[in-house]
Structure 1
Amino acid sequence: MADNPFLIYRERLDSYAAVRDGKLSDQQFVDIVSDLDARVAEVDGHGFTITPVVDGSELAAAAGLDIELVIKDETHNVGGSHKARHLFGAALHLLVDEALGAEPADRLAIASCGNAALGASVVARALDRPLDVFVPMWADAVVLAALAANGASINRCERRKGEAGDPTYLRFREAVSAGARSFSVQGTDTTAAFDGGRTLGWELADQVADGGGLDALYVQVGGGALATSASRAMPDVRLHPVQAEGCAPLRRAWDALAPEFDFEAAAADPDAYMRPWDDPHSLATGILDDITYDWLPLLRRTHASGGHPIVAPESSVVDAHRLARQHTTVEVCPTGSAGFAGLLTEPPASGERVGVLFTGIDRS
């Protein structure tokens, strides 16, 4: 467990505040992390380790990009993506709170059709807590089988007449209102999700430090927690959130904020800026959240970094996945390579060092 990021970077985690405040010892915190990680390994075959970076020079050349491309490969992380990082971080908060006397969380809940649900099911089983997963009617059979194998309760959600917004998210919110504990990767619902997600950014920052760091980071965006977490961990790197043209509520909110970018006004009246996207569609099905739930902290980070959101044409989403599979050894899915579509759409300046996150394994 020496290379477990939740141990390496533990003093940076928000959940470590209990140690800083003298309520737990460092050894107690290490034991919580180590015990949970061992149970994750029993469920998934391995626990958390530092994930590799891959030289993207062949991919950049194939795309006609005159840049140094660094790829962070999350495809063989727990659950086959980065998502379990967020949930493990949330689980640590839960366990620390319970160690300090909080009422145990009897039931967990998440809305997801893919990797987030899989990550949640692994960590929930490691916690030995029941998990309700709210999925769309078209959810992938392979994913559903894996969820069932991990003991999750699967709830298929149809859109109700006259209902606006994602029905899976609406049913999830109803479950939380009824007493379930939110166990999602959206920071709006599970604020601790950002904590675990930052480990990816801390790892990447250390891995590229010898080469002078990164100039820019292009990150695919659905709900927004990944890009927000990574940018918080790498605050000096220019951030470009990437969405597909078939579902781009983040760029619409950015354009509504421009040119003043009055984030306080946006926080006071969020519905004026972030609205559900009609008919989300893309090959990158994992980023089809009709609302970018963590849009406000994400756009704050984007603006502060000097970046801006990018909307990739569907042809670029398709090309990004094709090129990624042809010119790297990473078994990435179309959602996981969608950040690279942002580089195809708006290429970085010549000579820049740019990072992308290949985040989900191709299960097809």
Structure 2
Amino acid sequence: MSLSHVTGFTCAGCGATVPATAHPYACPNRGAGDDVDHVLVRRSMTPPPEWPSDSHPNPFVRWRRFLYAYDVARNAGIADGEFKQLVIELDRAVQQSDGRSFKVTPFAPSPRLSEALGGAEVWVKDETQNVAGSHKARHLMGVAIHLEVMGQLGRDDGSLPLAIASCGNAALAASVVAAAAERALNVFIPTDANPKVVAQLEEHGAYVNVCHRQAGVDGDPCYLDFRAAVGDGAMLPFCCQGPDCGLTVEGGQTLAWEMASELGWRKVALDDVYAQVGGGAFASALIRGFEQAVEGGVLAGLPRFHAVQTDGCYPVVRAWEKVVAKAFEHLGAPVPDAWPERARALKGAPEAVAAALTYARQHRSEFMRPWETPPHSLAHGILDDETYDWAAIVAGMLKTGGWPVLVTDPDLTRAVQLAKKQAKVIADATGASGLAGALVDRAAHPDAWDASRPPRLAVILSGVER
């Protein structure tokens, strides 16, 4: 059957399209040296699929009709039941590899955490009991399902090894899912990677490549070595960086779909969502997933999104500030001092924001560049030298009236302790950074909410303490 009706991918930077018969990994124009931010983004499905009414525990089964792999499979003649069985069998292999399978994770209000945040109603999404102990496996499962479909269609023989650059959770998640898919995996890790994680990687059969920083070379050495490995076609990207693997964001959207379904069922709306940001695939997936819930009529509107980074490395915060300055330049107005005021003003100026974002995507180096010094923080899982999916995150914050939040190591320590004591969730500093952001933001900007009612906030605890 023809694939002409498959909803494919377009580069958000240059507008290039990728045909449905190809692996939608990187924009074909990436690497041209044109300073464009080349990131493949899936085009909106028109009309959008109906929101699922079934209660299958596996999110990749429940929301299968939203997946690119499903679109490709169905248009190539693979029946719905066959695709469903493919996902179930791959998930069984994941359980054999990790001891856990993919299931909808808990999302509910936490009364005790709400007290800690000054009376705000705090909803917690607990990803610490997910596959490999974090949300990262969601991203890789989406890619793995696509590879399985490509194999069934005779377009991928499974001979090329997979590759990922990561300092911990993403690498571990990739090793679990790759082992389940019976694919060889090369992992590029830093010299200070957690020894427990390294041992688990080797236990799952991954090939570990330790990467060293070179004097005078900017950027994450793991990512640079990874790019060199996939650049010559010797390996396939199996990673959580959108510019390198356009499919990776979609798997992460399952988390947002789960949250939106619970909110829709309870008929409540969030005011704010706080998301940890390193490379950026997680936050961009959250934003896009919530947008799809609005498009599907599950939610009436979007909450404000806040990217949380540490004071030891905050490239997306710098990018947000630069895009904001460019937007106010278009308006011919001074930039307000307070971040909530900037966000509120620009939410009502979509044309200025669109112009600023278009310019930013065409002049990437002015807005996103590698962190100048080796980054340090307790939240080592979000110390990416660059936020690779930065533009989607900045756009999502500006669209919803959100702003970024910076946290310190003491803030992270407090969040870890609160999560453990009040929510009974054993998260590490990376996994608790969204909660740290909510704590800091509530204290720093008490006037940013309607005083007539308690605000409803959501945090995602993702990254179990190892």
Bin for the TM-score computed over the shorter chain = over 0.9
Shift of 1:254: 0.8
Higher deviation after alignment, 16-25 or 148-157: 16-25
Structure 1 Cα separation of the partners of residues 376 and 108 of structure 2: 30
Contact 1:231 1:237 survives alignment (8 Å): no
| 1:249 aligned partner | 315
1:198 to 243, 247, 253: 253
Instruction: Supply the AA of the counterpart residue of 1:86.
Output: H
Shift of 1:66: 2.0
SS in 2 for 1:148: helix
Shift of 1:57: 1.9
2:127 to 74, 83, 102: 74
Structure 2 Cα separation of the partners of residues 305 and 186 of structure 1: 23
Corresponding position: 1:358 with 2:413: no
Deviation string, structure 1 residues 275-304 (Cα, Å, up to 9, x no partner)? 111231111111100100110111112211
Corresponding position: 1:25 with 2:79: yes
2:288 to 227, 232, 238: 232
Shift of 1:46: 2.2
| 2:237 aligned partner | 182
Shift of 1:161: 2.8
Structure 2 Cα separation of the partners of residues 89 and 131 of structure 1: 16
SS in 1 for 2:252: helix
Shift of 1:133: 0.3
Shift of 1:324: 1.6
Higher deviation after alignment, 246-255 or 298-307: 298-307
| 1:83 aligned partner | 136
Instruction: Supply the AA of the counterpart residue of 1:254.
Output: W
Alignment of 1:276-295 (within 5 A): 276-277=370-371, 278-295=373-390
Alignment of 1:260-279 (within 5 A): 260=327, 261=353, 262-277=356-371, 278-279=373-374
Deviation string, structure 1 residues 287-342 (Cα, Å, up to 9, x no partner)? 10010011011111221122111112332222212222221211111100101111
Structure 2 Cα separation of the partners of residues 303 and 214 of structure 1: 17
Number of residue pairs matched?
362
Contact 1:205 1:213 survives alignment (8 Å): no
Q: 1:255 to 1:73 in 2, by over 3 A?
A: same
Q: Which has the higher contact order (CA 8 A, sep 6+)?
A: 1
SS in 2 for 1:234: helix
2:431 to 331, 336, 348: 336
Contact 1:313 1:345 survives alignment (8 Å): no
Instruction: Supply the AA of the counterpart residue of 1:245.
Output: D
Instruction: Supply the AA of the counterpart residue of 2:238.
Output: F
Shift of 1:21: 2.7
| 2:275 aligned partner | 219
Higher deviation after alignment, 288-297 or 210-219: 210-219
Higher deviation after alignment, 276-285 or 331-340: 276-285
TM-score w.r.t. structure 2 length? 0.75
TM-score w.r.t. structure 1 length? 0.96
Shift of 1:55: 3.0
Instruction: Supply the AA of the counterpart residue of 2:251.
Output: G
Contact 1:197 1:230 survives alignment (8 Å): yes
SS in 2 for 1:109: strand
CA RMSD of aligned residues (A): 1.5
Spell out structure 1 runs of 4+ moving beyond 3 A.
none
- Structure 1 segments unaligned to the other structure (5+ residues): none
Higher deviation after alignment, 93-102 or 116-125: 93-102
Contact 1:43 1:126 survives alignment (8 Å): yes
Structure 2 Cα separation of the partners of residues 76 and 147 of structure 1: 18
